[in-house]
Structures are given as structure tokens and as C-alpha cells.
Copies of this chain bind each other. A is one copy, B any other.
Amino acid sequence: MKLENLRTLFNPESVAVVGATENQKKMGCHAIISVMESFKGKIYPVNPTRDQIFGLKAYPDPDSIPETPDLAILAIPRDHIYDTVRKFIDRGTRAFVIITAGFREAEISDGQELHERLKNLVESVNAAVIGPNTFGMTDLRSGINASFTPALFQVKKGDIALISQSGGICHLLVPYALRHGIGFSKIVGLGNRLNVDFPEMLEYLAHDENTKSIALYIEGVENPKDMLQKIREVHVKKPVVAMKAGRFEKADKASRSHTGSMAGNYRIYVSALKQYGAVIAETLEELISYAKALSMQRPLHGDRIAVISLVAGLGMVASDTCELVGLRMAEFTEKTKERLYEILPPYTIRDNPVDLGFVANDPDVCGEVIEIVADDERVDGIVVNYIYSWSGNFLEVPADSIINAAGKKPLTACINYPPDIWDEVKIKLEENGVPVYATPEIAVRSLKALRDYGKLLSRE
């Protein structure tokens, strides 16, 4: 029932924005802009002191809206939240995004009490609430940005659902994603998790056809067992990557004031998350990079890796990183070695890591090498490293061969180049399931995430 209301929350046909205003100093201004820039359905700004907001007819209160809105977004002072939610519930609205802060996370005497009252109210009708104390959420696939950040909707449509206990982390990862062309299905700031928490989101996302991998940023939850149990259920269908903050005491304390929960012991959390089926990320860059690999590639079964590089230096760094993270450098079969000796000149390293340096100007030979290696039965996974040099007219990335190889073995790529030069190549590769990264280290670590997921699956 709540799950059904969650579906409405992410796919509304009509939206009320309470606190909508043209005053840029208010969150309600940015919330209404976000909705107007993203949402094709009916929009009802609610503001008792204005007739119009950005050209839309405004309504003085929930009761005056001509229909029951599917979703209500609230950006009004905390003392008005309860009554406003009640009015919407009386009308039949069952999905809410409450941006307003000042509940149990705050050093205010009645913060916890207000939280409980509000929770009882919405639970009585199984309404679904994102927040309070959140930027909100955006669903890039259905087309709704119910947040105070219009820029969230500029992110590429993709297959990653990012579920975060911190809005700030989303606001860091979003520009990161914008710069790296990483796509999302949904970005959700859970805030104080009144009645939509990690377990509810995991259950919902398990059945969300637009989501192929789930990235969780966790500070701390009241009932970790519920979350863990859901991860166990979901991860066999879809990969779940988790980053846990609050590794040390100071951050742990900060968590309490942040979204009202203790972060708990880091090591216990992380080992439980692993045991229940999550791939673990240690940094924000890893969280988003692993989710990307897992949304595009299949799990890696086996740890024998081939490294192929346009230049030897990158091959060395990638090889080092493979062994550092617990992958192994594959020993090629004699057949592969013979074939590489036939087509690569003597200046080149014709073993693993494979150096394409002296055939760099012949993309056909480079492509042939990549496909030969992908056919080697002793190779489980591949990292390809390409960098731009010489002129744009001269060097070509053998994109088709990389895509073919990725069809045979799990593969990640490090491809770096001055802005614009290879954007089309990168887009082509990623549209065909090859995740592209900016450094060999993160390309290898992302392949390792595929391996972690493979291990989790083969336990079942």
C-alpha cells in the first residue's frame, strides 16, 4: 500500500508546491522552478498571499486546489507542516516531499515529538513521505524534479538510482556526474526518513524497470536489520553499492545532528553490508563509479585480468592497481601469445599488460589485439586504457572492437582526452555498455566492483 503510494510519488500526474514563491531567498522559489522545469502534468502553487507565481495560478491553501494533487511538495515553516499535511490527507493526497527542516535532527525540544505526530498521521493512511529535512528527490525518467535544486534535472537520464541520507552528498555527486556524463534514474535525499527509509526504497527499486544499479550513501539507521534484509533480497536482482559514513567518532557524532540517527560502528556496519550483499565503496568517487560499472556491465566471475593500454605507463599503473585490489594479471594462453607476436612489432610489450604504443596509429591492429585478448579463455575481465596524443585526426579509438570485447568479457575503460576531442567515442562506448573512467586506477577499481558483485552472486 505504501509501496503503491511511493509509485505515485515518483510518477505523479498532478503536483502541489506549498510555499511556492518568486522570492529567490526562499526554498519554495527553487522548488516551484524545479517542478516547472521538469514536470509535464498539472502544477498547483500554494501561497496565501499571491494570485500568481511565475505565471501559474496560485491557491491560498490545499482545500482550494481544484483537484486532489497526487504529490504535495512542502517548503514552509515547520510549525505549519502538520496541519498542511493533514489537509492534503483529508483530500486524498498520499505522496509527500517535505523539504522543511527542524524536526528530530535539531536541538529543539519538540523536534522528536513533532516527528512522531507527523509519522502517526501519515502512517494512518499509508502515505509515502520523502523527508522532512531533505532537498527532495528527482526522477529523471518519469520527469519530476521535486527538490529545491533545479540543476538536478540537468543530469543525464540513466540507470543508477542514488539514495542518500545526505542531501549535500547528492549535491556533490550531481556536478561530478554532470562533468563525467554519468546518468541516473532517480536521485533521492531521504532526510529524516519519516516513513520512507532505505528498506522502502530498496523494495521499490527492486521492481523499478528504469533502475539497473542502486547506490546508497548511509550515515546511520535505526533498524539496520531491515535495511540489510532488503539488501539481501534485492541484490540478487540488482547490484547494490553502499558507502557508509561515520568511520570515526567525530563524523559519527555529526551524524546525530544531521539526520537524527547514530552512525554506529563503521566496521560492524561494513561487514554486515558486505555479508548481506552490498558492494562496498570507500569514497564518493568509488560510490558513483562502481554504480556506473554495475549498471552497464555484468558481474565478473574470476579474477584473471588482462590490461591493454595505448601506452606502457598506463599499463603499469593499471597492473599495479589490479594486484593492489586483489585481482590477478592473467597469464595468456600460448595461442594468444603467438597471435600477439605475429601482429605486434618488437618494440611493444606483447604480454600482459599489452602495450599498443607502436601500433597506436593503426586502430584496426589495436582493435584486433583487443579482440584476441578477449577470446583468451584464461582471461576473465579486461581493462582498456586509451589516452589522447598527437592530433585528433590521427589517433582513433577502436570503439567497435572494445564493444565486441565487452560483449565477451566484463570490461572497463580509462579513456582521457582534452575536452570535446573524443566525446562522441565516449558516448558510443557507454551507450554500448562500456563504462569509461578518467584514470586507470578508478577503471580497475570499478572492474573490481564487478568482481565483488560476482562473488556475492555466486554465494547464493
Contacts and interface: CB of A to CB of B under 8 A. Distances in A.
Interface of A: 24-25, 27, 29-30, 33, 101-102, 105-108, 135, 148-151, 154, 164-169, 171-172, 174-176, 178-179, 217, 219, 245-248, 250-251, 253-255, 257-259, 263, 283-285, 309-317, 319-320, 323-324, 329, 346-349, 351-353, 355, 357-358, 361, 387-391, 393-394, 414, 416-419, 421, 438-441
Q: How many copies does the complex hold?
A: 2
Contacts of A258: 312-313, 316, 349, 355
In this complex, the member of A258, A263, A309 whose beta carbon has the largest number of chain B beta carbons within 10 angstroms is: A258
A105 B250 contact: no
A219 B390 contact: no
Contact of A361 (B25, B108, B168, B348): B25
A316 B439 contact: no
A265 to B, nearest CB: 13
Contact of A166 (B102, B313, B394): B313
Given A176-B416, A317-B245, A346-B108, A391 B168 contact: no
Closest 5 CB pairs of A and B: A168-B311, A166-B313, A258-B312, A168-B313, A248-B323
Given A251-B320, A347-B106, A151 B388 contact: yes
A312 B172 contact: no
A91 B348 CA distance: 35
Given A168-B311, A168-B312, A254-B316, 9 more contacts: A30-B390, A33-B391, A102-B347, A172-B313, A172-B314, A246-B320, A247-B323, A258-B355, A284-B439
A359 to B, nearest CB: 13
Given A151-B418, A314-B169, A352 B320 contact: no
A1 B251 CA distance: 56
